[in-house]
Amino acid sequence: EDKVVQSPLSLVVHEGDTVTLNCSYEVTNFRSLLWYKQEKKAPTFLFMLTSSGIEKKSGRLSSILDKKELSSILNITATQTGDSAIYLCAVFDYGQNFVFGPGTRLSVLP
């Protein structure tokens, strides 16, 4: 059965810290891996990763995919309280299906 696992499930840091969120997957017909940020509304798209080893960056956020290890990491540097959210990892397959992980709840304290 297809599965996406995220770790840690919960994380508390202070402003200015750097965090690394992990995602690993077992999905047949893998097409791409996506990271979303979920606050009080629907998930907001962050990154889509399809190729191994190519880092995607957006401001203080970056992400990279390792297809050999079936995993991805999401880095956030110089965290701010506004980064507090649930970060979802999802794998998208060629059947147009999403498999979402349980999410990592990040709390950034002032």
Partner 1 sequence: DVKVTQSSRYLVKRTGEKVFLECVQDMDHENMFWYRQDPGLGLRLIYFSYDVKMKEKGDIPEGYSVSREKKERFSLILESASTNQTSMYLCASTTPAAGPDYGYTFGSGTRLTVV
For partner 1, the binding residues (CB under 8 A) are 4, 34, 41-45, 48, 50, 90, 96-102
The least distance separating partner 1 from the CB of residue 91, rounded to whole angstroms, comes to 10
Least separation in angstroms between CB 15 and partner 1? 28
CB of 75 to partner 1, least distance (A): 19
Q: Smaller CB distance to partner 1: residue 50 or 77?
A: 50
DSSP codes, the chain: --EEEEE-SEEEEETT--EEEEEEEE-TTEEEEEEEEESSSSPEEEEEE-STTPPEEETTEEEEEETTTTEEEEEE-S--GGG-EEEEEEEEETTS-EEE---EEEEEE-
In the complex with partner 1, the residue whose CB is nearer, 37 or 108, is 37
In the complex with partner 1, which residue's Cβ is closer, 99 or 108?
99
Type of residue numbered 85: A
28 versus 97: smaller Cβ distance to partner 1: 97
